[in-house]
């Protein structure tokens, strides 16, 4: 029988040196902790608490049947380091081996049979197991290069150390920082008719303060939060919010185009939908207003609205009253993800670190050299969804920039939606589009060998419809002359793909 190195010693063992006498054929193995009998493994300052240690042999020990192991422990230190209740255990576990100390409460529960444990004891064990799993998962993560902390419970990193609690903020006399008055208590605005002070015995900790603010923001009597979120969802679907300044609902912001509708949506979202964003999205996209055509001829009601606009051409020229659907261009992220999805290359993995879709080299000074041209657009990093793109704030991606993707160093409550020649050139010449047009063509060729079926499948994937007979004829002639990959580039650059109708 072969025992791998691993001798575990439990409880308090204040020893300076340990020797193991292995009685086999008359020879002895000597082992000490560090070879110096003047040193010791002490228990201070946890005197009277359980201690564990693991001692591992340098080489495996071959043990024959009925062999005897003799361990000699020398007590060379006195005073507060006296030997307590000693227990030895031998293990054949593979190296490296460690001993995990259990809390006294958990150890006490484990000492009783499972059938005799109460529900509270089972809950304590379950919580301990979950906490241990989380700790192991966190320890397995790579060490962060930087410390980004919004609270005071992080590991110190050089001079960046936790404060130990929220910083005390004082009321200042006439705003002078050199003339502090009494300490300000945690709270919010009192003009909204809500409790303005977050009184709690736990307010000395950062967590309860944040929780109190979250409860104040989502209070059913707080009208601003509910109106703000429904306005942003409306903006997402219609291109413009009912209030066209989503970051400012005050007097300096825009007036709502439909104030009663905004209030009704806020109350419905709060009371009927119980804060469900999915229900709010469903309500908007199934509404008659959303289903109107961009031309004003999608329904009888929109047809009447179109006639009204013809008789009153100067009224509501920007369609603030929503007599028809505004024609909306896909934003930069949607274009990029749609191209990847249609070509069959979109990576749907969730979570994880962001992907740098550029070549990064050290610069002459502090700012590194960023090159988007050298990046391999066919690599796995290029296929993640746009939400996982690493944004280099001061040097945006030229392709995304051409499609009005906001820079990472700007606050952009509403994106621009321009239509420019640069966008058409980017959708035709950019390396990303050219590469995934070829990938799209390969997907079509894999699924069908007939040209007419390839064209039909391409239109279904890009336009969501079958091609007309005229389109089939024209697209077929184009493929014969320029190739299937170039037809895919044409479809990507079409109005029907780039715009929501």
Which residues lie below 8 Å from residue 482, measured CB to CB, with a gap of 6+? none
Looking from the CA of 216 toward its CB, the CA atoms found within 13 Å total: 19
pLDDT tens digits for range 224-264: 899 999 999 999 999 899 999 999 988 889 999 999 999 99
pLDDT mean across residues, the chain? 82
With 0-12 CB in 10 A as exposed, 13-18 as middle and 19+ as buried, what is 429?
A: exposed
CA 451 to chain centre: 43
**Alpha-carbon gap, residue 150 to 166, rounded angstroms:** 11
Helix (H) or strand (E) holding 428: helix 421-429
What is the predicted pLDDT for the residue at 79?
59
DSSP state of 275: T
Helix orientation angle between 259-267 and 223-238, rounded to the nearest 10 degrees:
110
- pTM confidence score: 0.64
Question: Which of 139-153, 189-203, 364-378 is the least confident region?
Answer: 139-153
Cis peptide before 95 (omega within 30 of 0): no
pLDDT tens-digit profile of 101-157?
788 888 889 989 999 999 999 999 999 999 999 988 888 887 766 655 556 667 777
What is the number of other CB atoms lying within 10 angstroms of the CB of residue 115?
Answer: 5
**Phi first, then psi: what are they for 15, rounded to 5°?**
-120, 145
Report the half-sphere exposure of 103 (CA within 13 A, side-chain side). Answer: 10
| Residue closest to 82 by CA, chosen among 36, 179, 140, 14 | 14
User: Which of 38-52, 92-106, 271-285, 320-334 shows the highest mean pLDDT?
Assistant: 271-285
Domain boundaries, the chain: 1-110, 170-217, 223-287, 327-501
Q: How many CB atoms lie within 10 A of CB 188?
A: 16
pLDDT at 400: 94
pLDDT given at position 457? 96
The Cα 337–Cα 334 span in angstroms is: 5
Sign of the Cα pseudo-torsion (223, 225, 229, 234, in order): positive
**Which one-letter DSSP state was computed for residue 407?**
P
Integer angstrom CA distances of residue 359 from 145, 148, 248, 397: 20, 25, 38, 11
| Separation between Cα atoms, residue 327 and residue 213, nearest integer Å | 39
- Please name which of 171, 213, 170 lies closest in space to residue 195, comparing C-alpha atoms: 213
CA–CA dist 486, 441 (Å, integer)? 9
Encode pLDDT of 445-474 as tens digits: 999 999 999 999 999 999 999 999 999 999
CB 396 within 8 A of CB 405: yes
**Is the torsion defined by CA of 408, 410, 412, 416 positive or negative?**
negative
């Amino acid at each position: 029988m072969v025992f791998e190195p691993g001798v575990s010693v439990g409880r308090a063992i204040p020893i300076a040196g340990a020797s193991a006498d292995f009685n086999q054929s008359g020879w002895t193995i000597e082992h000490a902790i560090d070879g110096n009998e003047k040193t010791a493994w002490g228990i201070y300052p946890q005197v009277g608490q359980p201690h564990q240690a693991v001692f591992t042999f340098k080489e495996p020990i071959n043990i024959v049947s009925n062999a005897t192991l003799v361990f000699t422990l020398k007590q060379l230190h006195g005073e507060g380091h006296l030997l307590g209740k000693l227990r030895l255990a031998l293990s054949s576990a593979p190296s490296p081996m460690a001993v995990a100390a259990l809390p006294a409460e958990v150890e006490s529960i484990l000492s009783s049979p499972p059938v005799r444990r109460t529900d509270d004891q089972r809950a304590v064990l379950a919580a301990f197991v979950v906490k241990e799993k989380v700790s192991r998962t966190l320890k397995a993560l790579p060490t962060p290069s930087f410390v980004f902390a919004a609270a005071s419970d992080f590991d110190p990193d050089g001079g960046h150390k936790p404060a130990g609690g929220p910083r005390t903020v004082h009321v200042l006399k006439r705003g002078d920082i050199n003339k502090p008055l009494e300490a300000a208590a945690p709270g919010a605005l009192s003009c909204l008719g809500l409790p303005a002070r977050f009184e709690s015995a736990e307010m000395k900790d950062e967590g309860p303060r944040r929780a109190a603010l979250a409860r104040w923001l989502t209070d059913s009597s707080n009208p601003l939060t509910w109106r703000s979120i429904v306005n942003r969802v409306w903006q997402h679907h219609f291109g413009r919010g009912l209030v066209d300044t989503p970051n400012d609902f005050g007097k300096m912001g825009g007036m709502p185009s439909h104030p009663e509708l905004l209030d009704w949506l806020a109350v419905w979202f709060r009371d009927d939908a119980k804060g469900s964003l999915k229900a709010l999205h469903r309500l908007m996209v199934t509404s008659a207003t959303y289903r109107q055509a961009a031309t004003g001829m999608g329904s009888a009601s929109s047809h009447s609205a179109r006639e009204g606009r013809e008789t009153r051409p100067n009224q509501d020229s920007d369609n603030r009253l929503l007599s028809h659907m505004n024609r909306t261009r896909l934003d930069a992220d949607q274009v990029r993800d749609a191209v990847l999805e249609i070509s069959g290359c979109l990576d749907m993995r969730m979570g994880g670190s962001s992907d740098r879709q550029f070549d990064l080299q050290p610069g002459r000074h502090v700012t590194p050299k960023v090159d988007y041209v050298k990046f391999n657009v066919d690599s796995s990093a290029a296929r993640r969804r746009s939400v996982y793109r690493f944004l280099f704030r001061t040097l945006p991606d030229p392709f995304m920039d051409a499609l009005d993707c906001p820079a990472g160093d700007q606050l952009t409550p509403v994106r621009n939606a321009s239509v420019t020649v640069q966008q058409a050139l980017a959708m035709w010449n950019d390396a990303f589009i050219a590469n995934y047009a070829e990938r799209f063509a390969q997907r079509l060729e894999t699924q069908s060998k007939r040209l007419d079926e390839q064209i039909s499948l391409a239109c279904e994937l890009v336009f969501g419809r079958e091609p007309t007979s005229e389109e089939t004829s024209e697209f077929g002639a184009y493929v014969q002359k320029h190739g299937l990959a170039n037809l895919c580039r044409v479809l990507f650059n079409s109005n029907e793909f780039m715009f929501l109708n």
